[in-house]
Structure 1
Amino acid sequence: MSALLHFRWLLAGQKARLTLTLLLALTAIFAGIGLLGVSGWFITAAALAASGAAFNLFVPSSLVRGLSMLRIVSRYGERLAGHDATLRMLSDLRGWLFATLFPKLPLSLSPRHGDLVSRLTADIDALNTAFLSAAIPLLGTFAAGSVMTLVVFLLVPDAAPFYAAVFAISMFVVPWFLIRSTRRAGLAMVEQASDLRGAVLDGVSGHADLVAFGLTDEALRSFDDAAGRLAASKRATARRSAAAQALVQVCGAAAFVTVLWIGLDALEQGAIGGPTLAGLLLAIIGSFEAPAMLSRNLGRFSASAAAAGRLRDIEVSAPRVAEPVRPTPMPTRFDIAFDGVSFGYGNADVLSDCNLEVLEGEHIAIRGPSGSGKSTILQLLLRLYDPRGGVVRVGGQDLRTLALSDLHRRVALLEQNAPVFLDSVRGNLLIGDPAADDRKLWQALEAAKLADFVRSLPHGLDTMLGETGRTLSAGQARRLCLARTLLSPARIVLLDEPTSGLDREMEYAFLRDMEESLAGRSVVLVTHAELPAGSGMRALTLKGGKLEERS
């Protein structure tokens, strides 16, 4: 519960919409109670009337129609306002997540990137509706119980304490038992939803490999197992939720019978009329709709609480690298130096007494076998990690003394999986420099050798690109990302296998154009590719944790 309360700021941002949702929910609840109450009184009074002419049919029948319409409209309005508030809270929650994650990347909470993404997706989904599905029904149930207790007290005073006690059991005790009994299943549901997403991601991204090695049946069995575990947890939660709703109905029946028993005595004594007693009994039945709805919604409470706990752990976790207490100004030079740098993951060293010097404006290429630590060098330059030993410097300054925001404005990374977003060409480019005008955009495209292609598009810069850039070829997507990098103020550009997946001709063309377009900036290229003939890049090989010059 404390983890959910940690995210109560989500409610503050949507206070007006949530208040409207609550008012509409209360209107729907009381309209439903009133509809049953008036209908019971109307039918009983009409049956007991000695003459139809002596009984006013119009007012109660109008009330029935009016309350029916009011209930329908208010319930629809509640759903509309509630979903609007939910979607806006989802936007706020995702914004918070990205703002929280960026200063703490890379996270050590999950060994695999796909696991972390699927886990965060499942947690956001679980937390998104927690307040709307719990807070609004809880307040509505409390209001319904309070008002009906007062009504019972005014009409049948002796029955009011029992009604209040039974309603309190359906509102507090039954949901408490429901939350307790679904805690384990709720925790499992979030884990299993994450596993299922991971199975889908692995199956889609590795489809070609699965087919090539004849492992599709095994992958399908793995997916079926994950889906079966999730379905079993959902069924367990659904059974407990159904049992809780049944208990609410038992409480409602007990309240009905008690008020009827005591009300018949009051009827004999003339303390209450028959139509009024009939209307009160049906209103009591209607009042228990609110705790029944609460029990339906609270079946997902444990999953939401577990998700909130994991997201809170991310927020309060210490970042992998610490900001300097008193950062030094960013240097005006952008030469790079590794002085005796050592680094490893776990107990295995990747770099050992590694030395490197890159002059400002110089371009170097680092080659080496997979797993030798080439990408680690780039991560150290971005200060995603700190070295275990030695020092990494830019412009003569130890990176640990520089503010991370200053460093990341001056050091840019272009990797093989650099994303193309579902946006226009312009929108993708403006990520590099939000203030860039058309002239700068075209200059960057010219430098990346993509301007002619963009001019040929139906709407030029404003042409929409498909999701993940599916309307572009692999080479065009890389050049678009290169143009975006050129727009950034970065004076040091890091490239991690930027030609991966390209054929030899496209690879050479990209590398030649890259050297020209990045002239004047310090460049560190990590690649398996052979450099084009006549390349001016200095080539090094990473072997045994050390960099060696290639002849």
Structure 2
Amino acid sequence: MKALLAFRSLFLSQAKGFTLALLLSLVTLAAGIALLGTSGWFITSAALTTAGLAFNLFVPSSLVRGFSFIRILARYGERLSGHDATLRLLSGLRGWLFARLFPRLPLADRSLRHGDLVSRLTSDVDALDTAFLVAIGPIAAALVIGAALTAVLAWLLPGAAWLYGFCFGAAVLVVPSGLTLLSRAAGNAVVRRAADARAAVLDGIEGHDDLTVFGVLGTAQAGFATTSQHLAAARGRLSTLTALAGFAVQALAALALAGSLWLGLTAFAAGAVEGPVLAGLLLAMAGSFEATSTIVRSVGKLTTAMAAAERLTTIAEAPPAVLDPAVPAPVPADTTIVLADVTFGYGGPPVLDSLDLTVTPGEHIAITGPSGSGKSSLLTLLLRLADPQAGRITLGGTALPALLQADIHARVALLSQHSPLFNDTIRANLCVARDADDDALWAALADAGIADFVRALPAGLDTMVGEGGRTVSVGQARRLCLARVLLSSAQILLLDEPTAALDRPAEVAFFETLHQAAQGRTVIVVTHATIPDGTVNRVLTLRNGMLA
């Protein structure tokens, strides 16, 4: 529950919507109880009356219809306001989470699997946003309704008030609390096993080719089947506990009704209560327990929401991989890059070992080498997304840890093989780098060698590129990303496998375009490709953690 309370400010931001949903929920429950009570009184009175046509049928029947319409309209309004507030809360939760994650990327905890991270960003947030709608709201509404009906019983049937109050209170507070305590482990297991299943699916999809080539596809399938069985078992345990709690609530409801009937008949025999009133009260009590059954079904979701909240706060409060200095140094005008005796690894053997490199302003260099040699790790260090375990990296003579990360990223831009195109217009995709007028956008497109293509499009800069740039070719997408990098004011451009998935003619054309477009800027390219002559000043090879 402590982890769930960490999100109270986000819940409070939607207090108006949730309060309206709670009030309408109270109206719905009250109308349902009044409908049953009035119906019971009306039918019993009609059966016992001897007045015939003199009996007033109009008012009770009008009340029955009125309570029915009130219940329908209140239920609709409750759903409308509650789901609207929940969807707004969902947006706030995602915004909060991504705002917390961005300063922490890449995550220091490298044991966190990709699939598990995806699960936290999707299903855990979805589990959290229903906490009020399915649990907190119904409990609050039931407490108010139970207290009100207990007060009515204390007035009309005092003997049954204490019994009903005890049974209803136990059904609303004791049973859900016990279920919450007993089901915490099961709820945690459901969330954890569901994350494992999602991770296994993502791993299987992304690594399908490798699993097939090495002949272990069957092993992966068997592992996923085992994970699914564990998930089913965890959900089964949670369902069993929920069913037992539901049985306890029904037993309390039966005890309240049977005891109240016995006490009511005693009062009726003594002339303390009329028969129609007794029938109406008993039906009202039966209707009030509708709220308790909803609570029991919701507690299972509350336990998973609590587990989800713990998982979200774990990554949202994780220490950043790198920290800004308390007193940052001014940004140097010089853009000379020096790596001196740099050693870096991920907990095992070093990827970069005593590496030395100097890149002068405006120089274009290419770094080649086999996969796993540390080329991308080198760019990670230059962006200060991580710090080396030994050695020193300076920009213009100033050590990178002495500079603000924002200042470094304003001077250094990255174009990777995974640089995305967003599901938006070409203009919006370019303006990710900086806000610019049309002249600047067309200049960047021309430098990237794709201006003619964009001009030929019916909507020009306002053309939608689709999710992941699906409406353009791989080469065109890469040039649009290059235009975005060129539009930035960064004086140092880092490119990580920028020609991946391009054929050789497109590859050569890309390097030639880059050579011309980035004149005056420092360019460091890491690639497996063969560098065309005359497009860079130096070609270095990274092998065994060292440059040659």
Matches within 5 A, 1:38-57: 38-57=38-57
Equivalent-residue separation in structure 1 for 2:495 and 2:397 (angstroms): 22
Aligned residues of 2:10 and 2:92 also touching (Cα < 8 A):
yes
Equivalent-residue separation in structure 2 for 1:154 and 1:141 (angstroms): 20
Once the two structures are overlaid, the 10-residue window that deviates more, 202-211 or 42-51, is: 202-211
Aligned amino acid, residue 490 of structure 2: A
Equivalent-residue separation in structure 1 for 2:109 and 2:242 (angstroms): 32
- Partner deviation per Cα, 1:126-175 (whole Å, 9 max, x = no partner): 22212322211111111111111111111111221221111111111111
TM-score normalised by length of structure 1? 0.95
Count of aligned pairs: 547
Matches within 5 A, 1:99-248: 99-111=99-111, 112-211=113-212, 216-248=217-249
Q: Alpha carbons of 1:222 and 1:459: their partners in 2 closer, same or farther (altered >3 Å)?
A: farther
1:269 equivalent in alignment to 2:278: no
- Partner deviation per Cα, 1:223-276 (whole Å, 9 max, x = no partner): 444333323322332232222122111111111111111111211222211111
Q: CA RMSD in A?
A: 1.8
Correspondence for 2:499 = 499
Displacement of 1:211 in angstroms is 5.0
Aligned residues of 1:109 and 1:116 also touching (Cα < 8 A):
no
Displacement of 1:216 in angstroms is 4.9
Correspondence for 1:474 = 474
- Partner deviation per Cα, 1:380-429 (whole Å, 9 max, x = no partner): 11111111112111121111111112222222211111112222222222
Aligned residues of 1:126 and 1:190 also touching (Cα < 8 A):
no
Aligned residues of 1:34 and 1:67 also touching (Cα < 8 A):
yes
SS at match of 1:349: coil
- Partner deviation per Cα, 1:425-484 (whole Å, 9 max, x = no partner): 222222111x22222222221111122222232322222222222222111111111111
SS at match of 1:300: helix
Q: Alpha carbons of 1:322 and 1:150: their partners in 2 closer, same or farther (altered >3 Å)?
A: same
Aligned amino acid, residue 140 of structure 1: A
Aligned amino acid, residue 429 of structure 2: N
Correspondence for 1:20 = 20
Displacement of 1:290 in angstroms is 1.1
Equivalent-residue separation in structure 2 for 1:438 and 1:516 (angstroms): 21
Q: Alpha carbons of 1:114 and 1:513: their partners in 2 closer, same or farther (altered >3 Å)?
A: farther
Correspondence for 1:370 = 371
Correspondence for 2:67 = 67
Correspondence for 1:91 = 91
Aligned amino acid, residue 325 of structure 1: A
Aligned amino acid, residue 121 of structure 2: L
1:438 equivalent in alignment to 2:443: no
- Partner deviation per Cα, 1:348-401 (whole Å, 9 max, x = no partner): 112222111111121111111211111111111111111111211112111111
Correspondence for 2:316 = 315
Q: Alpha carbons of 1:203 and 1:458: their partners in 2 closer, same or farther (altered >3 Å)?
A: farther
Correspondence for 2:522 = 522
Displacement of 1:316 in angstroms is 2.7
Equivalent-residue separation in structure 1 for 2:287 and 2:481 (angstroms): 61
Aligned residues of 2:108 and 2:320 also touching (Cα < 8 A):
no
SS at match of 1:372: coil
Correspondence for 2:429 = 428
Aligned residues of 2:119 and 2:198 also touching (Cα < 8 A):
yes
Displacement of 1:119 in angstroms is 3.6
Q: Alpha carbons of 1:214 and 1:387: their partners in 2 closer, same or farther (altered >3 Å)?
A: closer
Correspondence for 2:29 = 29
TM-score normalised by length of structure 2? 0.96
Aligned amino acid, residue 64 of structure 2: V
Q: Alpha carbons of 1:294 and 1:109: their partners in 2 closer, same or farther (altered >3 Å)?
A: farther
Equivalent-residue separation in structure 2 for 1:465 and 1:239 (angstroms): 49
Aligned amino acid, residue 456 of structure 1: A
Q: Alpha carbons of 1:536 and 1:147: their partners in 2 closer, same or farther (altered >3 Å)?
A: same
1:490 equivalent in alignment to 2:485: no
SS at match of 1:284: helix
SS at match of 2:109: coil
Q: Alpha carbons of 1:465 and 1:218: their partners in 2 closer, same or farther (altered >3 Å)?
A: farther
Correspondence for 2:338 = 337
Aligned amino acid, residue 107 of structure 1: L
SS at match of 1:541: strand
Displacement of 1:217 in angstroms is 4.6
Displacement of 1:215 in angstroms is 5.1
SS at match of 2:542: strand
Aligned amino acid, residue 538 of structure 1: R
Aligned residues of 2:115 and 2:200 also touching (Cα < 8 A):
no
Equivalent-residue separation in structure 1 for 2:225 and 2:84 (angstroms): 35
1:347 equivalent in alignment to 2:352: no
Q: Alpha carbons of 1:207 and 1:351: their partners in 2 closer, same or farther (altered >3 Å)?
A: closer
Aligned residues of 2:120 and 2:312 also touching (Cα < 8 A):
no
1:389 equivalent in alignment to 2:387: no
SS at match of 2:44: helix
- Partner deviation per Cα, 1:82-106 (whole Å, 9 max, x = no partner): 1111111111111111111111122
Correspondence for 2:3 = 3
Equivalent-residue separation in structure 1 for 2:49 and 2:270 (angstroms): 20
Correspondence for 2:461 = 461
Equivalent-residue separation in structure 2 for 1:546 and 1:207 (angstroms): 33
Aligned residues of 1:252 and 1:288 also touching (Cα < 8 A):
yes
Aligned amino acid, residue 126 of structure 2: D
Equivalent-residue separation in structure 2 for 1:547 and 1:481 (angstroms): 28
Aligned amino acid, residue 503 of structure 1: D
Runs of 5+ unmatched residues, structure 2:
none
Aligned amino acid, residue 462 of structure 2: D
Aligned amino acid, residue 104 of structure 1: R
Displacement of 1:347 in angstroms is 3.5
Displacement of 1:291 in angstroms is 1.4
Aligned residues of 1:361 and 1:520 also touching (Cα < 8 A):
yes
Displacement of 1:213 in angstroms is 5.3
Q: Alpha carbons of 1:212 and 1:369: their partners in 2 closer, same or farther (altered >3 Å)?
A: closer
Equivalent-residue separation in structure 2 for 1:204 and 1:412 (angstroms): 31
